[in-house]
A and B are shown apart, each in its own frame.
Chain A
C-alpha cells in the first residue's frame, strides 16, 4: 500500500512537472473525448457464426452484441506549445471473447513545424484508407467498414514512430506519412501473430469534397495458429516426415514476409457520397495472398443517409501448395487452406439516421456469398457440421454510434 502511495505521489509530481512546461501556466490543458457503439448483428443461418476475422471471437448468441459494440476513451494533455501526449483506451470483444480494455494509442507528438509532426509510441498503422477511424463508427457511413476489405489486415496498432508531413498542393493538401514499428495481435484459440520491422508510406491528397489515399507497407511476419485443426495437421505432417515437414514449416512460424497495399477515394458533396477502396495482401507463407475492393454510394435526405454497397474479396494464392499422397492428410491440409481464406462477396443496403447531435443510428442488411474454397466472414458452428464454403448468408446489423 505504501509503495503504491509512493508511486502515485511520484506520478503526480511527474504530471505536475509536465504541466509546468505549459507556457501559459493556466489550468492544465487536458482534452477528454470518447466514442462508443452499441451494436447487434443477427444472421439467418443457424449453422454458422458471423465473425470478424482477427478481431473478435466467433460464437455467442443468436443476436451477437460482440461484433460491433465498443467503447473508446481518449485523453490528450498539451505539453507546451508544440507537443502533446495522447492515450486511448479501447474496450471491445476481443479474440479471447472478453472486453478487457487495452491501450489502442499512447503516443507523444511533437510539432517540429506547422507542416511536420513526429509521433512516438503506440500508433494506428494506416494500412487502410479508414484505418484512422477504424473503431470510430460514428465517422463512417456504415455499421462497420466492409468486412471483405477490412478483414484482410487485422493489424491496426504499431509500436513505433511516424511522421506527418503536410504540404499544400494548390487548393488541396498532400499528407505524407512514413512509419516504422512492430505490432502484435492475439488470434482465436490462443494463437498469436506478429509483424516486425514494419515500414511503409501512406499518402493522402485531401480536397474539400474529394480525397485520395495510397498506401504501402511491408514487414516480417510471425504466426502461431492456436486452433485444434491446425495443431492436429501440423503434428501429422511432422510425423509423416520428408517434404511434409517443410510444408508444416510453411503454415506457421517466424520467417514470413508480408506486404499490404491499398488505394482508395472518398467523394462527398454534402448530399451524395461515394467511397471506394481496393487492397492487396501478399505473404510468402503462414497466411494467404488476396485482394479485395468495395464501392459504396450514399445520399443524404434530411437526417437520413441511405447507402448501398458492393464488396468482394478473392484469393490470389492459398497459404501453401502441396501434393500429398495420403488422402487423410491431403483432406486436412485442404481444410486448413479453406479455413484461412476469407473470400466472399456481398451486397449491403442500409441507412444512417443522424437523430441527434453526436449520435447516429444505423441499420443495414447484407447478403453475402462465401467463395467455394473459403470460410468468408463466417465460422462453422460445429467443427464437423456445415462448412461456410459456397453458402449464402443474410446479416442484419443495427448500431447506435456516439461521440462525446
Chain B
C-alpha cells in the first residue's frame, strides 16, 4: 500500500474509533413481556424502513428512534446500509406518500427505554453495553 494512503487510512481509523458511536454495536430490543423473542436482520430492516408495520406475531409495531445524531445514523447504516442522506430521503418519501408513519422520536436513551418497557409492541435500539434490565434483546448488530 502507498505510504501516504496508509497514513490517511490510519488517521481515518483513529477518527472513527475515537467516536463512541462507531465503536458501538447495537441491540434491537422490546419490552420483556413482548410475545416476540427474536427478529431477523431482514425483519428489523423492513420495520425500520417502514416496509412492514407489524412484528412477526402480528402485533402492530411501535418503533422508537433516538434523537437525530451520530448514534442514530450509525444504527441505520448498520441495519440498512443506507447513509443518513439516503435514510432521510427514503423516510420523507414513505411519510409524504402516506405509506408509513415514521418512528416516534425519543429525546434520550432513557426515554427510549421507558417507552419500550411500557409497550409490548414497541421496538427500540441501543448501543450494546447499555443497561437492558426489563428489556428483551431481539437482534444484535452487526
The chain A residues found within 8 Å of chain B, CB to CB, are: 24, 31, 33, 35, 72, 74, 76, 78, 81-82, 84, 86, 88, 105, 107, 109, 111, 114, 119, 123-124, 132-133, 135-136, 138-140, 164, 166, 171, 173, 206, 208, 268, 270, 300, 305, 354, 357-358, 403
Contact = CB atoms under 8 A, between A and B. Distances in A.
B51 A132 contact: no
Contacts, number: 81
B80 interface: yes
Q: Size range of the interface on B?
A: 20 to 34
B60 A74 contact: no
B83 interface: yes
Contact of B101 (A31, A164, A358): A31
A105 B92 CA distance: 15
A86 B82 contact: no
B89 interface: yes
B83 A139 contact: no
A206 B82 CA distance: 14
B92 A136 contact: yes
Given A33-B95, A132-B96, A138-B88, 19 more contacts: A24-B119, A35-B96, A81-B60, A81-B121, A82-B60, A111-B54, A114-B52, A114-B53, A114-B58, A123-B98, A124-B97, A124-B98, A132-B97, A132-B99, A133-B92, A171-B42, A208-B80, A270-B86, A354-B85
A138 B92 CA distance: 8
Nearest to A78: B101
A82 B42 CA distance: 22
Contacts of B134: none
Contacts of B86: 268, 270
A206 B119 CA distance: 31
B134 to A, nearest CB: 19
10 contacts: A31-B102, A35-B96, A76-B101, A78-B101, A123-B98, A133-B92, A135-B96, A139-B92, A270-B83, A354-B85
Contacts of B98: 76, 86, 88, 105, 107, 109, 119, 123-124
Contacts of A138: 88-89, 92
A24 B81 CA distance: 34
Contacts of B119: 24
Contacts of B89: 138-140
A270 B99 contact: no
Nearest to B119: A24
B79 to A, nearest CB: 11
Given A208-B80, A357-B88, A139 B53 contact: no
Nearest to A87: B98
B87 to A, nearest CB: 11
Contacts of B81: 208, 270
A211 to B, nearest CB: 11
A123 B99 CA distance: 11
A35 B102 CA distance: 15
A129 B89 CA distance: 15
Nearest to A77: B101
Contact of B96 (A74, A84, A305): A74
B96 A33 contact: yes
Interface string B94-124: 0111110110000000000000000101000
